[in-house]
C-alpha cells in the first residue's frame, strides 16, 4: 500500500502567508512541466511496480489551474503506469480558478475527492490573507460539490486570522459544515520569508494571542463535533469513513511517491526530495538526470522519533506496548505526569492526546522523544 | 662597578601617558638595544600587554651611559601600574632609589598615578617630575607643571619637559636622572642581602627571580637561603637584563639582575622575599614582605563541559608564572565542573581570563565576581566564605564582615555631585577631598569592595564623560548588615544564583533577579513560581503561566523530515537544559544571569 502525490507549484498569485515554493503570476500550467511530470513518473514506475496505491493527491500551489483535459491526461498516464486500485483521488481546488465546466471535467477524469481552499467566508479575512477568491465563489463551489453524492468534499479553514472573531469563525464553519464531510483547520503560521512575517515583525500586523488562539481552536472543535465529525488528527476532522486515506498514510509512516518539483517520497526506510525549482526540475527530467536533491536513510532512532511524533497527532495515538523497550525508564513517569495533567488519555491499548494535549503536541513530542531509549537498546 | 655609578629607578605614569615610548627612547640613547632589534614598546613583550598598553609583569633593563667622562649603570625597573599589582609595585619601588613621575602635559595627574606616587614617596624615592607630550597642541605645560608642584612641592622649573615621541629633552632627562637620583647605599663587604622583586617561570630552568642586591655579592655557584621558607639553593646563574638575560659572574651591592637557582616552583620564589647566604643565621629580612592574598573571586567554567581537564592544565601552567593566582575545584548545578579562582583584583581577573582564552584557546564562563566574607560565629570563631552557597546556618552567625577599600577619585569639579551619588548608591561614604588645581579635585571615599566589582569603573567614566579617574586600596574588613538571598524555582533552591547582599539592597536585587528569570525560563506544562527569599521569608515572587499552545498545524505534502529535524534539534536543546526539580531551565539563562557584563 502506498500513496502518490503530484505537486503543481504554480499560482495566480502568491498569498501573503504562504511560505512554500510556488510561482505566482500563472493562470495555466506550463506544458513543459506537465510533460516532465509524466516523464519523471514513468521513470520512477519500475521502483514501485509491486506497490498498490490507495490514494493519489494532486496538490500545490494551485492544481486547479490544470485544464480538465490536462488533469484527465495526467491521471490516465498515472493509471497506466501505477497500480491505482480503487484509489482515493484528491485534487486541491482554489475557488478563484474553477468554473462549473472544469469542475465537472475533473470528476469525469476520475477525481473522487476535492479539497477546497475556502480558508474563510468573511470578505475582509480573505482580503487580509490576499486570497484571490471571494466568499461567493467559495460558496458556489461548495454547493456544486455537494450535489455529487459520490464525491468526498473537504475544506481548508484558517484559524487565527487577525481580525477573526468567535462570531466570524462560527459563521464560516456553520456554512461550510452544511456541504463537507471533511475539514482541515489550520492555525495561521507565520513562516519566515513571507510578506506576512515581515509585516508582523514590522509591527504592521498584530497577531492574536496564544490564549485567543486556544479559545478559537476549542470553539472549532466543539462546532465541528456537533455535526458528528470525528477529530482524527490535530488539524483534521471527518465524518466516519471520510478520513483522508492519503494523509493517514503519512501519519502512519507509510510509503509514498512524490512526483514534481519539491515533492517528497518515502520508500524502504529512505526519504528523498526532488529539486524544488520547477525549471531545474524540467531540465533534469529532459536531460535524463535524477531529480532527487536530498535523500536520507533513516536510522532506527530517527524512525522511532517519526513514529512518536506522527502517531501522537492522530486519534489512534501510541500503542501502550510501544513503551516496552522503545523508551527509557523516565518515560513511564513522564506518561503518568501527562495523564495526571489531562494532556494524555489512555484509551484501551492506546495513548492519545486530549484536546488540550493536541494544542501542546510539539511540546509533548519533544518531551517523549527526549526519553527514547538509546539506539543500542532500540536495535536489541 | 662602584655603587657610586649605579642608578636604580622606575617610571610612574598613567596608562597612555607615554611610559613605554619614553623607555624606548632611553634604550635608544644608551644604545642598549641594537637599532635593528628596536621596535615600539620593547619592554612589553606579552601580546596582551602590547595590546592593552599596560604592564602586567615587572621588567628590568640595564643601560650604560657615559656622562662627563664617567660610565654609569642605569637600571630601569618597569612596574605594573595597576592597583591589583600594588604589592609587586611596592617591591619594585623598594628596589629603586628614584622614580620618574611621568605626566601627560595635555591630561594632568590621574588617580592611579597618585597612589603609586604616594607609595614611591613612602619608600623614600627621589621623584623626578617629567612632563611628556609637550609637542601636542593641547599641552598645558605651565598648568600641569603647577599641578605637579602642588602635589610634590618644589618649583615648576624643576619639572623636566620632554616629548618622548619626538625625542625632545630626553638626553637632558638622562643627565638629570644621574644628577638627582642618589646612588644606592650598600656595602660589598657585608653579608649578602638581596630582594626578590618579581619572578617568572622558565620551563627548563625553573623560577627566575628578579633581584636587587642591597649588601654583599650574589655569585654563581654560591649557596643561598630564602628567608621566608628557609630553603637552601645553589645559584646556577646570575646576570643582568638587556633585551635578553645576559649572564655575569656576580651581582654586587646596588645592582639589579636575575638569579636562577634551581627553584622548581614559582611560589617558592616569593616576591618580597630576602636572599641571604646559606649559613647566615643572623641577617634580618628586608622590610615589607607579605604573602599575596586574593581579594576577588570568580567561578571559571569551560563553556563546553568536556574541556574541564584542559582548563585545569591551563590554570596550573598559568600559576607557574603567577604566584598570586589561586584556584580550587568547584561544582555548580547550572554550570557543571569548574574552578573558584582568587585574584588580586579586577584587572588581574580579566587578565587571567583573557590569557586562558587567548593562550590556551579555552572558551570560558565567568560568574559574577565576589569577595571573601568573614563570618563571625556565635561561638566566637570565624570562617571565611567566598561562595555564597557555603554560608553557615544564619542561626549560628553573630555577624558578617566584608572587605572595604579606600577609593581615590580624581575628577573635574563639576562631576563631583553625580559621582558622590554613585558612591552613596554603592554604600560608600565620603572621607575627605583635596583640591589639586583650579579644575580638579581628589575625593577619597570608603566603599565595600563588593560594590566596585561590577561596572563601578565604567560608571565613574560615563558619569564624568571620561574625565574622572579612579583607583583603590584595600583598607580592611568591617561588619556590614549582609544577608544571603536564595532563589527558588517551584520551591527548590538554585545554588548558582544565591548571593550575599546588603540588607538595604536585598529587595531590589531580589525583584530584579526574579523578573529577569521570568523572561528567561520558557513556559512549562505547569505553572512555575520563582521566588527570592532571605531565610524563609519570601521577598519577591513571579509566576510563569503554563504553556497553552505549541503545535505544528500541518505536515505539508509529506515533508516529515523537516519536522523530525526540528524535533531532533529541540531534543538536543532539552538535553542541555538543567533541571531544578521538575522545571527545566536553559543553560543560557544561567549564563545570562551569571556572566560578567564587560
Look at residue B92 in the predicted model and tell me its pLDDT. 84
What's the length of chain A? 380
Instruction: Give the one of A5, A7, A250 whose C-beta lies nearest to B560's C-beta.
Output: A250
Instruction: Tell me if domain A2-249 and domain A304-379 are identical in fold.
Output: no
Instruction: Give the one of A5, A309, A364 whose C-beta lies nearest to B564's C-beta.
Output: A309
- Burial of residue B433 (CB within 10 Å: 0-12, 13-18, 19+) is middle
Say whether B558 and A369 touch across the interface (CB within 8 A). Answer: no
Q: What distance in Å separates residue B551's CA from the closest CA in chain A?
A: 5
Look at residue B598 in the predicted model and tell me its pLDDT. 32
Per-residue pLDDT at B12 exceeds 50: yes
* Cβ within 8 Å of residue B126, ≥6 positions away: B97, B98, B99, B180, B181, B182
Substitution target in B527, B549, B582 with the highest count of A β-carbons within 10 Å is: B549
Q: What distance in Å separates residue B528's CA from the closest CA in chain A?
A: 15
B contact set with A (CB within 8 A): 525-526, 547-561, 563-564, 567-568, 570-571, 574-575
Binning pLDDT at 50, 70 and 90, where does residue B439 land? confident
What does the pLDDT average to over B76-101? 81
Instruction: Give the one of B550, B563, B571 whose C-beta lies nearest to A363's C-beta.
Output: B550
Kindly list the residues from chain A whose CB atom is less than 8 angstroms away from the CB atom of residue B563: 309
Cα dihedral B90, B94, B96, B98 sign: positive
Higher-confidence residue of B254 and B35: namely B254
Per-residue pLDDT at B392 exceeds 50: yes
* Cβ within 8 Å of residue B95, ≥6 positions away: B8, B77, B195, B197, B212, B256
Closest CA to B324 of B87, B90, B95: B87
* Cβ within 8 Å of residue B496, ≥6 positions away: B332, B333, B334, B335, B367, B389, B590, B594
Per-residue pLDDT at B555 exceeds 70: no
For chain A, the average pLDDT equals: 93
Kindly list the residues from chain A whose CB atom is less than 8 angstroms away from the CB atom of residue B558: 3, 5, 250, 256, 258, 263-266
**Secondary element (H or E) of residue A18:** none
Q: Domain A304-379 - what CATH class?
A: mainly alpha
Look at residue A332 in the predicted model and tell me its pLDDT. 84
Closest chain B residue to the Cα of A370, Cα to Cα: B571
pLDDT digits (tens, 9 = 90+) for B156-175: 888 999 998 888 999 999 99
Size of interface A-B (CB pairs under 8 A): 104
The Cβ of residue A356 has, within 10 Å, a number of other Cβ atoms equal to 17
- The domain locations on chain A are 2-249, 304-379
Look at residue B597 in the predicted model and tell me its pLDDT. 40
Substitution target in A369, A372, A375 with the highest count of B β-carbons within 10 Å is: A369
Q: What distance in Å separates residue A29's CA from the closest CA in chain B?
A: 19
* CA dist., res. B587 & res. B575, Å (int): 10
Closest chain B residue to the Cα of A371, Cα to Cα: B571
Closest chain A residue to the Cα of B572, Cα to Cα: A370
Asked if the C-beta of A362 comes within 8 angstroms of chain B's C-beta atoms, the answer is: yes
Q: Which CATH number fits domain B374-480: 3.30.1330.10, 3.30.70.240, 3.90.1640.10, 3.40.50.620?
A: 3.30.70.240
Sheet containing B232-234: give its strands across: B232-234, B223-226, B274-277, B193-202, B206-215, B256-260, B237-241, B245-248
Instruction: Give the one of B549, B560, B571 whose C-beta lies nearest to A210's C-beta.
Output: B549
* CA dist., res. B134 & res. B22, Å (int): 13
Look at residue A378 in the predicted model and tell me its pLDDT. 46
Q: What distance in Å separates residue B302's CA from the closest CA in chain A?
A: 25
Kindly list the residues from chain B whose CB atom is less than 8 angstroms away from the CB atom of residue A213: 549
Is B9 in a helix, a strand, or coil? Answer: strand
Look at residue B354 in the predicted model and tell me its pLDDT. 86
pTM across the whole model:
0.66
Per-residue pLDDT at B223 exceeds 60: yes
Q: How far apart, in Å, are the Cα atoms of B257 and each of A97, B79, B197?
A: 94, 15, 10
Q: What distance in Å separates residue B560's CA from the closest CA in chain A?
A: 8
Look at residue A380 in the predicted model and tell me its pLDDT. 42
Kindly list the residues from chain A whose CB atom is less than 8 angstroms away from the CB atom of residue B544: none
Instruction: Give the one of B548, B567, B574 whose C-beta lies nearest to A305's C-beta.
Output: B567
Question: Mutual orientation of helices A278-286 and A31-44 as an angle, nearest 10°?
Answer: 60
Instruction: Give the one of B549, B561, B563 whose C-beta lies nearest to A296's C-beta.
Output: B561
Instruction: Tell me if domain B374-480 and domain B483-594 are identical in fold.
Output: yes
Q: Which of A174-188, A340-354, B538-552 has the highest mean pLDDT?
A: A174-188
* CA dist., res. B71 & res. B82, Å (int): 34
Q: What distance in Å separates residue B559's CA from the closest CA in chain A?
A: 6
Closest CA to A145 of A121, A173, A113: A113
CATH number of the B296-367 domain: 3.30.70.870
Say whether B525 and A211 touch across the interface (CB within 8 A). Answer: no
CATH number of the A2-249 domain: 3.80.30.20
pLDDT digits (tens, 9 = 90+) for B568-591: 888 887 776 777 778 888 877 777
Say whether B564 and A306 touch across the interface (CB within 8 A). Answer: yes
Binning pLDDT at 50, 70 and 90, where does residue A348 land? confident
* CA dist., res. B177 & res. A309, Å (int): 82
Closest CA to B112 of B417, B409, B387: B409
What's the length of chain B? 598
Architecture (CATH level 2) of domain B193-277: Beta Barrel (2.40)
C-alpha cell of residue A230: 470525528
Closest chain B residue to the Cα of A309, Cα to Cα: B564
CATH superfamily of B483-594: Elongation factor 4, C-terminal domain (3.30.70.2570)
C-alpha cell of residue A127: 482580503
* CA dist., res. A322 & res. A373, Å (int): 11
The Cβ of residue B76 has, within 10 Å, a number of other Cβ atoms equal to 26
C-alpha cell of residue B204: 627548563
- The domain locations on chain B are 3-180, 193-277, 296-367, 374-480, 483-594
Instruction: Give the one of A59, A366, A367 whose C-beta lies nearest to B557's C-beta.
Output: A59
Q: How far apart, in Å, are the Cα atoms of B361 and each of B41, B307, B355?
A: 26, 10, 9
Closest chain A residue to the Cα of B550, Cα to Cα: A360
Binning pLDDT at 50, 70 and 90, where does residue B55 land? low
* B3-180 topology per CATH: Rossmann fold (3.40.50)
Look at residue B58 in the predicted model and tell me its pLDDT. 66
φ, ψ of residue A234 to 5 degrees: the values are -40, -45
Say whether B571 and A235 touch across the interface (CB within 8 A). Answer: no
Say whether B561 and A210 touch across the interface (CB within 8 A). Answer: no
Look at residue A357 in the predicted model and tell me its pLDDT. 93
What does the pLDDT average to over A346-367? 91
* In chain A, % of residues over pLDDT 90: 84
Closest CA to A178 of A216, A145, A213, A136: A145
- DSSP code for B431: E
Say whether A302 and B564 touch across the interface (CB within 8 A). Answer: yes
8 Å CB contact between A369 and B571: yes
pLDDT digits (tens, 9 = 90+) for B272-318: 889 999 998 888 888 876 666 788 888 898 887 788 999 998 898 88
Largest CA distance in chain A: 60
- DSSP code for A372: B
* In chain B, % of residues over pLDDT 70: 92
Look at residue B471 in the predicted model and tell me its pLDDT. 80
In the stretch 302-361 of chain A, residues with CB closer than 8 A to chain B read 302, 305-306, 309-310, 313, 338, 341, 343, 356, 358-361
Kindly list the residues from chain B whose CB atom is less than 8 angstroms away from the CB atom of residue A356: 548
* CA dist., res. B274 & res. B9, Å (int): 20
Kindly list the residues from chain B whose CB atom is less than 8 angstroms away from the CB atom of residue A364: 525
Say whether A256 and B558 touch across the interface (CB within 8 A). Answer: yes
pLDDT digits (tens, 9 = 90+) for A104-150: 999 999 999 999 999 999 999 999 999 999 999 999 999 999 999 99
pLDDT digits (tens, 9 = 90+) for A290-305: 999 999 999 988 999 9
Kindly list the residues from chain B whose CB atom is less than 8 angstroms away from the CB atom of residue A250: 555, 558, 560
Cβ burial A11-48 (10 Å sphere, 16+ → b, else e):
bbebbbbbebebbeebeebeeebbebbbbbbeebbeeb
Instruction: Give the one of A217, A258, A313 whose C-beta lies nearest to B558's C-beta.
Output: A258
Closest chain A residue to the Cα of B571, Cα to Cα: A370
8 Å CB contact between B481 and B508: no
* Cβ within 8 Å of residue B533, ≥6 positions away: B485, B486, B487, B488, B510, B539
Give B161's strand partners: B131
- DSSP code for B192: P
For chain B, the average pLDDT equals: 86
Instruction: Give the one of A250, A266, A343 whose C-beta lies nearest to B525's C-beta.
Output: A343
Kindly list the residues from chain B whose CB atom is less than 8 angstroms away from the CB atom of residue A258: 557-558
What does the pLDDT average to over B335-362? 86
Tell me the CB-side half-sphere exposure of residue A71, using CA atoms within 13 A: 29
In the stretch 200-219 of chain A, residues with CB closer than 8 A to chain B read 210-211, 213-214, 217
Q: What distance in Å separates residue A209's CA from the closest CA in chain B?
A: 10
The Cβ of residue B362 has, within 10 Å, a number of other Cβ atoms equal to 20
Instruction: Give the one of A5, A341, A363 whose C-beta lies nearest to B558's C-beta.
Output: A5
Cα dihedral B563, B565, B571, B573 sign: negative
Closest CA to B134 of B102, B97, B111, B101: B102
ipTM: 0.90
Strands (E), B463-536: 469-480, 482-489, 492-493, 499-502, 528-534
Amino acid at each position: 500500500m502506498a500513496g502518490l502525490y503530484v505537486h503543481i507549484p504554480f499560482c495566480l498569485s502568491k498569498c501573503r502567508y504562504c511560505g512554500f515554493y510556488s510561482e505566482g503570476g500563472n493562470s495555466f500550467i506550463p506544458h513543459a512541466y506537465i510533460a516532465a511530470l509524466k516523464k519523471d513518473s514513468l521513470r520512477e514506475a519500475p521502483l514501485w511496480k509491486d506497490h498498490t496505491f490507495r490514494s493519489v493527491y494532486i496538490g500545490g500551489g494551485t492544481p486547479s489551474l490544470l485544464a480538465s483535459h490536462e488533469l484527465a491526461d495526467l491521471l490516465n498516464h498515472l493509471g497506466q503506469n501505477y497500480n491505482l486500485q480503487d484509489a482515493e483521488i484528491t485534487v486541491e481546488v482554489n475557488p478563484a480558478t474553477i468554473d462549473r465546466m472544469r469542475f465537472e471535467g475533473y470528476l469525469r477524469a476520475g477525481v473522487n475527492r476535492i479539497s477546497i481552499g475556502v480558508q474563510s467566508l468573511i470578505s475582509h479575512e480573505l482580503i487580509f490573507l490576499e486570497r484571490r477568491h471571494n466568499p461567493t465563489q467559495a460558496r458556489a463551489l461548495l454547493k456544486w460539490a455537494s450535489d455529487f453524492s459520490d464525491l468526498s468534499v473537504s475544506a481548508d479553514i484558517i484559524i487565527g486570522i487577525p481580525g477573526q472573531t468567535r462570531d466570524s469563525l462560527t459563521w464560516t464553519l456553520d456554512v461550510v459544515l452544511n456541504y463537507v464531510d471533511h475539514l482541515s483547520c489550520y492555525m495561521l503560521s507565520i513562516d519566515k520569508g513571507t510578506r506576512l512575517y515581515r509585516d508582523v515583525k514590522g509591527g504592521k500586523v498584530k497577531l492574536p494571542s496564544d490564549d485567543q488562539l486556544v479559545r478559537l481552536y476549542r470553539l472549532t472543535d466543539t462546532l465541528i463535533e456537533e455535526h458528528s465529525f470525528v477529530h482524527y488528527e490535530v488539524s483534521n476532522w471527518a465524518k466516519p469513513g471520510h478520513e483522508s486515506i492519503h494523509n493517514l498514510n503519512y501519519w502512519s509512516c507509510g510509503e509514498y511517491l512524490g512526483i514534481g518539483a519539491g515533492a517528497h517520497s518515502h520508500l524502504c526506510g529512505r526519504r528523498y526530495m526532488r529539486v524544488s525549482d520547477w525549471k531545474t526540475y524540467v531540465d533534469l527530467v529532459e536531460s535524463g538526470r535524477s531529480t532527487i536533491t536530498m535523500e536520507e536513510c533513516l536510522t532506527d532512532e530517527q524512525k522511532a522519533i517519526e513514529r512518536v511524533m506522527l502517531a501522537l497527532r492522530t486519534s489512534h495515538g501510541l500503542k501502550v506496548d510501544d513503551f516496552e523497550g522503545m523508551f527509557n525508564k523516565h518515560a513511564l513517569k513522564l506518561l503518568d505526569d501527562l495523564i495526571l495533567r489531562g494532556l494524555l488519555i489512555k484509551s484501551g491499548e492506546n495513548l492519545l492526546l486530549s484536546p488540550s494535549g493536541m494544542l501542546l503536541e510539539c511540546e509533548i513530542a519533544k518531551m517523549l522523544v527526549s526519553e527514547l531509549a538509546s539506539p543500542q537498546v532500540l536495535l536489541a | 662597578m662602584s655603587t657610586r655609578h649605579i642608578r636604580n629607578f622606575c617610571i610612574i605614569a598613567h596608562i597612555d601617558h607615554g611610559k613605554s615610548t619614553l623607555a624606548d627612547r632611553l634604550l635608544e640613547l644608551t644604545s642598549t638595544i641594537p637599532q635593528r632589534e628596536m621596535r615600539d614598546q620593547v619592554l612589553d613583550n606579552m601580546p596582551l600587554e602590547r595590546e592593552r598598553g599596560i604592564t602586567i609583569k615587572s621588567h628590568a633593563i640595564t643601560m650604560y651611559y657615559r656622562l662627563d667622562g664617567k660610565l654609569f649603570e642605569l637600571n630601569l625597573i618597569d612596574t605594573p601600574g595597576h592597583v591589583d599589582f600594588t604589592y609587586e609595585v611596592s617591591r619594585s619601588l623598594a628596589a629603586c632609589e628614584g622614580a620618574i613621575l611621568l605626566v601627560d602635559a595635555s591630561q594632568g595627574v590621574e588617580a592611579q598615578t597618585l597612589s603609586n606616587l604616594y607609595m614611591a614617596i613612602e619608600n623614600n624615592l627621589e621623584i623626578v617630575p617629567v612632563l611628556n607630550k609637550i609637542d601636542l597642541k593641547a599641552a598645558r605645560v605651565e598648568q600641569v607643571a603647577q599641578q605637579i608642584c602642588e602635589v610634590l612641592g618644589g618649583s615648576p622649573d624643576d619639572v623636566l619637559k620632554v616629548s618622548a615621541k619626538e625625542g625632545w629633552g630626553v638626553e637632558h632627562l638622562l643627565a638629570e636622572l644621574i644628577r638627582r637620583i642618589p646612588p644606592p647605599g650598600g656595602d660589598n663587604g657585608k653579608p649578602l642581602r638581596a630582594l626578590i622583586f618579581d619572578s617568572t617561570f622558565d620551563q627548563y630552568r625553573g623560577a627566575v627571580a628578579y633581584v636587587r642586591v642591597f649588601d654583599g655579592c650574589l655569585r654563581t655557584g654560591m649557596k643561598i637561603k630564602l628567608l621566608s621558607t628557609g630553603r637552601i639553593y645553589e645559584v646556577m646563574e646570575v646576570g643582568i637584563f638587556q633585551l635578553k638575560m645576559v649572564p655575569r659572574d656576580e651581582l654586587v651591592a646596588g645592582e639589579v639582575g636575575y638569579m636562577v637557582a634551581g627553584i622548581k616552583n614559582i611560589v617558592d620564589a616569593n616576591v618580597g622575599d630576602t636572599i641571604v647566604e646559606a649559613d647566615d643565621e643572623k641577617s634580618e629580612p628586608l622590610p615589607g614582605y607579605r604573602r599575596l592574598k586574593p581579594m576577588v573571586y570568580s567561578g571559571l567554567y569551560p563553556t563546553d563541559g568536556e574541556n574541564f581537564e584542559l582548563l585545569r592544565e591551563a590554570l596550573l601552567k598559568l600559576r607557574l608564572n603567577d604566584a598570586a593566582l589561586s584556584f580550587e575545584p568547584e561544582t555548580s548545578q547550572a554550570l557543571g565542573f569548574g574552578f573558584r579562582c582568587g585574584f588580586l583584583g579586577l584587572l588581574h581577573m580579566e587578565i587571567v581570563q583573557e590569557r586562558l582564552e587567548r593562550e590556551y584557546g579555552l572558551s570560558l564562563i565567568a560568574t559574577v565576581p565576589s569577595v571573601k566574607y568573614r563570618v563571625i560565629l556565635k561561638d566566637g570563631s570565624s570562617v571565611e566564605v567566598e561562595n555564597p552557597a557555603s554560608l553557615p546556618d544564619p542561626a549560628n552567625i553573630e555577624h558578617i564582615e566584608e572587605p572595604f577599600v579606600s577609593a581615590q577619585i580624581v575628577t573635574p569639579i563639576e562631576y563631583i555631585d553625580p559621582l558622590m551619588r554613585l558612591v552613596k548608591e554603592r554604600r560608600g561614604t565620603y572621607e575627605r577631598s583635596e583640591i589639586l588645581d583650579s579644575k580638579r579635585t581628589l575625593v577619597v571615599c570608603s566603599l565595600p569592595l563588593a560594590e566596585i566589582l561590577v561596572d563601578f569603573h565604567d560608571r565613574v567614566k560615563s558619569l564624568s564623560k571620561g574625565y574622572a579617574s579612579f583607583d583603590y586600596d584595600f583598607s580592611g574588613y568591617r561588619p556590614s548588615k549582609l544577608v544571603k538571598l536564595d532563589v527558588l524555582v517551584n520551591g527548590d533552591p538554585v545554588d548558582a544564583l544565591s548571593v550575599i547582599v546588603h540588607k538595604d539592597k536585598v529587595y531590589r536585587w531580589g525583584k530584579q533577579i526574579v523578573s529577569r528569570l521570568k523572561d528567561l525560563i520558557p513556559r512549562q506544562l505547569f505553572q512555575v513560581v520563582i521566588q527570592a527569599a532571605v531565610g524563609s521569608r519570601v521577598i519577591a515572587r513571579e509566576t510563569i503561566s503554563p504553556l497553552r499552545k505549541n503545535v505544528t498545524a500541518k505536515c505539508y505534502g509529506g515533508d516529515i523530515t523537516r519536522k523530525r529535524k526540528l524535533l531532533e534539534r529541540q531534543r538536543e536543546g532539552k538535553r542541555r537544559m538543567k533541571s531544578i526539580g521538575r522545571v527545566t531551565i536553559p543553560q543560557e539563562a544561567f549564563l545570562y544571569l551569571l556572566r560578567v557584563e564587560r
